[in-house]
Amino acid sequence: QVQLVQSGAEVKKPGASVKLSCKTSGYRFISYYIMWVRQAPGQGLEWMGRVNPSDGGTIYAQQFQGRLTMTSDTSTSTVYMELSGLSPEDTAVFYCASFSSHFWDLWGLGTMVTVSS
Amino acid sequence: DIQMTQSPSSLSASVGDRVTITCRASQDITTDLGWYQQKPGKAPQRLIYAASTLQSGVPSRFSGSGSGTEFTLTISSLQPADFASYYCLQHNNYPWTFGQGTTVEFK
């Protein structure tokens, strides 16, 4: 089955880190970039960055530089996103999506991360 | 960074109405643009890629047009399932950027 399965909801304290997973199945893992998108409650979509599963290459949005790490594991067809230095403003749903500029578009269901003391 | 200015931020419409949403890029992005629909509590899904090509399975009442800096998503006859939020995404230049979104509400 072609799908992206994201890890479960997380609750973190300010200053902590969170590592989310996005397990792919049903298609060739290395064929498409995986991007991560953040959506704060009631807000719009924010592009965080992308990882190229074929070589692990990453591009991050400037606002996350220094505290965002995306990795890929070809042995398990899984991508990870780690965000450090969490603040309450990071409370959001995080989506992974398998991206191609043409025809291919596949999203996970999202992972809710709550940052609260 | 390329800024995507999307308008309107919200609109009220009735079933059967023609709806138009616009995204303006701060610089030329050729046709490296997609349109996404998101319903409450759900993940986004792409409707249009390459500015004007309908994603497989998407109803033909959706259409996209434009190139360069001006892009439009049109719903020719709004249906109940279309009340949702819509976003454009440019992938011409890093960082990729979304428009601010348009919420289509029932009038």
Whether B32 has its CB under 8 Å from any CB of chain A: the answer is yes
Mean pLDDT of chain B: 97
Cβ A53 vs Cβ A74: under 8 Å: yes
Confidence at residue B6, expressed as pLDDT on a 0 to 100 scale: 98
In chain B, residues with a C-beta closer than 8 Å to the C-beta of A60 are 95
Report CB contact under 8 Å: A50, B55.
no
Residue B67: count other Cβ atoms within 10 Å of its Cβ.
Answer: 15
Report CB contact under 8 Å: B43, A95.
yes
Query: Which residue, A102, A98, A79, A101, is CA-closest to A33?
Result: A98
Confidence at residue A3, expressed as pLDDT on a 0 to 100 scale: 97
Nearest CB to A102; choose among B50, B89, B99:
B50
Pairing of strands B10-13, B102-106: parallel
Whether B60 has its CB under 8 Å from any CB of chain A: the answer is no
Confidence at residue A104, expressed as pLDDT on a 0 to 100 scale: 92
The nearest CA of chain A is from the CA of B83 a distance in Å of 16
At B68, the pLDDT band (50, 70, 90 cuts) reads: very high
Give A12-55 pLDDT, tens digit per residue.
999 999 999 999 999 999 999 999 999 999 999 999 999 999 99
- pLDDT above 70 as % of chain B: 100
Give A76-107 pLDDT, tens digit per residue.
999 999 999 999 999 999 999 999 999 899 99
Give A64-73 pLDDT, tens digit per residue.
989 999 999 9
Give B14-48 pLDDT, tens digit per residue.
999 999 999 999 999 999 999 999 999 999 999 99
In chain B, residues with a C-beta closer than 8 Å to the C-beta of A52 are none
User: Running DSSP on this structure, what letter comes out for residue A31?
Assistant: G
